C-alpha cells in the first residue's frame, strides 16, 4: 500500500513496485475475502400499486400549453365577459351576443365591438400598458368611422355595444370618464330609435345592459359627494366631456325591458332632499307610496319580452326587496328599527342562505348595510368575496369596502341613529371617482 508520501511513495520504491498513483481506485473483493459478502442478491417481493397512473409530458406538449394559454380569445371566452355588469346571470349567453356583434360582418361598427372587447380583455389580463392604450385607440377610431356610416339598424346596436364595452374598460382603469360612455350609448338609443326596432335578442340584451348600467350610475351619483355638480362643471374643467353629457338629462334614454329595473330607476329618481320644496308635500308622499305598492305587487318571475333572457325568480326577488328597503330608508332618512325593513330582510335572508350568489352589487350593498351583528356581517362578507372571485368585478370590490365602512360607522355611533342618506353619501364620497355598482 502506498504511504502517500510526496513526490514519491517510499514503500513502492523500496519494494521495487510500480506505484499506481494517488488517484481514486476501485477494487472488488474476492470471494474469499472476509471484508465483504459476495453472493446472489435475495429477491424481495415488490408490491404493485394499480392505482398509480402517469402521463408523460414532452417538450412539444409544453410548447402547445404555452401557445394555447397565450391566445387572447381564451381570456375573452372564459374571464373577461363576467366583469361587464349585466343584470341577469346568463353570462355565457351574453358573451355569445357580444361575439356575434363583433364577428357578424366586416363593417367599422363590427370592428369597433371587436377592438373594444379586446381592450377590456387586455386591461384585465395585463393591466395598464402601451399595448392596451393602442387597443383603446383602435376601438375609438373604429367607433368614429362607424358613426360616419350611420347609426341605424345593426350598426347602431354594435355602436352601443362598443360604447358599453369601453365603459367597462374605463371602470377597470378607475377612470373618472366611465359615465360618459353610458351617455353616448343612451344618446344612440334615443336618436336612432333602436328600442322600437326589431333586431332580436342582440337588441334586447344591449338595451337591458345600458338601462341597468344607467340606473346604477344614477344611484351612485345620487349619493356621491360630487354627484350634484358632476354635470355642472365649467367647460374648461370637463376634461373633454362630450356634448351628449353636458347636461343631466343626457343620462335619460334607454328603457329596460325588465319591469324590476324600470321600477328601480323610478325609485332612484324619486328620492328628494329635505331642502326640496316638494319634500313635505302630499304629492311626494303619494308618489313614494305608489312606488312601494308597485314593488310589493311585482310578480316574479317576470315576462321580459320576445328575445330577452329569462331572469331567475330569486334574482328579481332580491332586487325587489333591496329596492323596497332603499326606498324606505332613503325617503325617511332613518337607519333605526323598522318593522317593514325587518320583514323584507327576513325574506332576503332565506334566499341568500340557500344558494350561491353571483354578480348582484346593489342588493348585497343595500341588504348588507342592515346587518347589525357579526353573524350576518360574516354572511355578507362571504357572499361578496365569492361573487368577487367569480366575476372579478370592480363593483364587488366597491361593495366590500363600503360595507365595512358603513358597519364601522354604525358601531362607533352609540348615542343616536345615523341619517341614512348622510351615511351613504359619506361612504360613497370616500372615493375620488364615482364608484361603479354594476
Reported as a single tens digit per residue, the pLDDT across 357-385 is 678 999 999 999 999 999 999 999 999 99
My answer on whether 84 and 156 are in the same domain is yes
Which of 369, 433, 431, 352 lies closest to 403 in space, CA to CA? 369
My answer on whether 390 and 273 are in the same domain is yes
Number of domains in the chain: 2
Residue 65 placed within a domain? no
My answer on whether 324 and 381 are in the same domain is yes
Q: How confident is the model at residue 158 (pLDDT cuts 50, 70, 90)?
A: very high
Supply the pLDDT for residue 363: 96
Residue 374 placed within a domain? yes
Q: How confident is the model at residue 50 (pLDDT cuts 50, 70, 90)?
A: low
My answer on whether 207 and 286 are in the same domain is no
My answer on whether 275 and 230 are in the same domain is no
223 pLDDT higher than 50: yes
Residue 95 placed within a domain? yes
Cα 419 to Cα 205: distance, rounded to the nearest angstrom: 38
Residue 178 placed within a domain? yes
Give the residue-averaged pLDDT of 252-257: 63
Q: How confident is the model at residue 79 (pLDDT cuts 50, 70, 90)?
A: low
My answer on whether 165 and 180 are in the same domain is yes
My answer on whether 226 and 278 are in the same domain is no
Q: How confident is the model at residue 286 (pLDDT cuts 50, 70, 90)?
A: very high
How much is the mean pLDDT over the chain? 81
Strand partners, 334: 419
Per-residue CA distances from 257 to 7, 168, 212 (Å): 101, 21, 10
My answer on whether 81 and 222 are in the same domain is yes
Residue 322 placed within a domain? yes
Q: How confident is the model at residue 159 (pLDDT cuts 50, 70, 90)?
A: very high
My answer on whether 241 and 150 are in the same domain is yes
3-state secondary structure of 304: coil
The lowest-confidence range among 137-141, 227-231, 317-321, 401-405 is: 227-231
Q: How confident is the model at residue 85 (pLDDT cuts 50, 70, 90)?
A: confident
Supply the pLDDT for residue 112: 96
406 pLDDT higher than 50: yes
My answer on whether 247 and 156 are in the same domain is yes
Per-residue CA distances from 364 to 271, 318, 349, 357, 402 (Å): 20, 9, 11, 9, 11
Spatial contact of 82 and 387, defined as CB atoms under 8 Å apart = no
Which of 203, 321, 330, 210 lies closest to 268 in space, CA to CA? 330
Q: Domain containing 417: what range?
A: 259-301+312-438
Q: What is the pTM of this model?
A: 0.77
My answer on whether 380 and 347 are in the same domain is yes
Q: How confident is the model at residue 109 (pLDDT cuts 50, 70, 90)?
A: very high
Cis peptide before 428 (omega within 30 of 0): no
My answer on whether 195 and 293 are in the same domain is no
Radius of gyration of the chain (CA): 34
37 pLDDT higher than 60: no
Strand partners, 419: 334
Quote the percentage of the chain above a pLDDT of 70. Answer: 74
Quote the percentage of the chain above a pLDDT of 90. Answer: 43
Residue 42 placed within a domain? no
The lowest-confidence range among 96-100, 228-232, 398-402, 423-427 is: 228-232
Residue 53 placed within a domain? no
Which of 235, 256, 277 marks a domain boundary?
256
Residue 140 placed within a domain? yes
Per-residue CA distances from 136 to 12, 123, 173, 246 (Å): 86, 10, 12, 23
Amino acid at each position: 500500500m502506498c504511504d502517500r508520501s510526496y513526490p514519491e511513495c517510499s514503500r513502492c520504491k523500496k519494494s521495487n513496485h510500480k506505484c499506481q498513483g494517488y488517484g481514486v481506485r476501485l477494487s472488488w473483493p474476492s470471494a474469499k475475502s472476509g471484508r465483504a459478502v459476495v453472493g446472489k442478491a435475495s429477491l424481495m417481493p415488490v408490491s404493485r400499486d394499480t392505482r398509480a397512473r402517469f402521463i408523460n409530458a414532452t417538450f412539444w406538449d409544453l410548447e402547445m400549453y404555452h401557445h394555447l394559454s397565450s391566445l387572447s380569445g381564451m381570456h375573452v371566452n372564459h374571464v373577461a365577459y363576467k366583469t361587464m355588469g349585466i343584470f341577469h346571470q346568463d353570462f355565457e349567453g351574453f358573451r355569445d351576443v357580444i361575439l356575434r356583434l363583433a364577428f357578424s360582418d366586416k363593417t367599422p361598427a363590427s370592428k369597433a365591438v371587436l377592438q373594444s372587447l379586446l381592450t377590456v380583455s387586455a386591461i384585465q389580463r395585463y393591466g395598464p400598458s402601451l399595448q392596451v392604450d393602442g387597443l383603446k385607440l383602435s376601438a375609438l377610431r373604429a367607433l368614429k368611422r362607424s358613426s360616419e356610416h350611420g347609426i341605424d339598424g345593426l350598426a347602431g346596436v354594435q355602436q352601443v355595444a362598443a360604447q358599453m364595452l369601453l365603459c367597462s374598460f374605463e371602470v377597470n382603469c378607475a377612470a373618472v370618464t366611465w359615465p360618459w360612455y353610458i351617455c353616448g350609448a343612451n344618446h344612440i338609443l334615443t336618436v336612432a330609435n333602436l328600442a322600437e326596432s326589431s333586431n332580436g335578442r342582440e337588441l334586447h340584451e344591449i338595451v337591458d345592459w345600458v338601462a341597468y348600467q344607467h340606473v346604477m350610475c344614477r344611484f351612485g351619483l345620487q349619493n356621491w359627494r360630487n354627484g350634484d355638480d358632476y354635470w355642472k362643471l365649467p367647460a374648461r374643467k370637463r376634461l373633454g366631456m362630450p356634448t351628449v353629457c353636458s347636461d343631466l338629462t343626457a343620462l335619460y334614454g334607454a328603457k329596460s325591458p325588465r319591469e324590476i329595473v324600470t321600477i328601480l330607476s323610478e325609485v332612484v329618481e324619486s328620492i328628494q332632499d329635505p331642502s326640496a320644496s316638494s319634500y313635505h308635500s302630499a304629492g311626494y308622499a303619494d308618489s313614494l307610496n305608489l312606488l312601494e305598492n308597485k314593488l310589493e305587487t311585482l310578480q316574479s318571475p317576470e315576462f321580459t319580452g320576445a328575445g330577452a333572457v329569462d331572469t331567475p325568480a330569486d334574482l328579481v326577488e332580491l332586487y325587489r326587496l333591496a329596492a323596497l328597503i332603499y326606498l324606505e330608508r332613503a325617503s325617511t332618512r332613518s337607519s333605526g328599527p323598522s318593522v317593514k325593513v325587518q320583514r323584507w330582510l327576513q325574506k332576503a335572508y332565506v334566499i341568500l342562505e340557500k344558494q350561491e350568489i353571483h354578480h348582484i352589487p346593489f342588493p348585497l350593498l343595500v341588504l348588507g348595510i342592515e346587518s347589525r351583528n357579526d353573524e350576518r356581517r360574516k354572511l355578507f362578507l362571504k357572499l361578496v368575496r365569492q361573487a368577487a372571485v367569480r366575476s372579478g368585478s370592480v363593483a364587488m370590490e366597491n361593495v366590500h369596502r363600503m360595507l365595512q365602512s358603513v358597519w364601522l360607522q354604525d358601531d362607533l355611533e352609540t348615542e343616536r341613529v345615523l341619517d341614512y342618506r348622510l351615511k351613504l353619501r359619506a361612504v360613497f364620497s370616500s372615493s375620488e371617482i364615482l364608484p361603479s355598482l354594476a
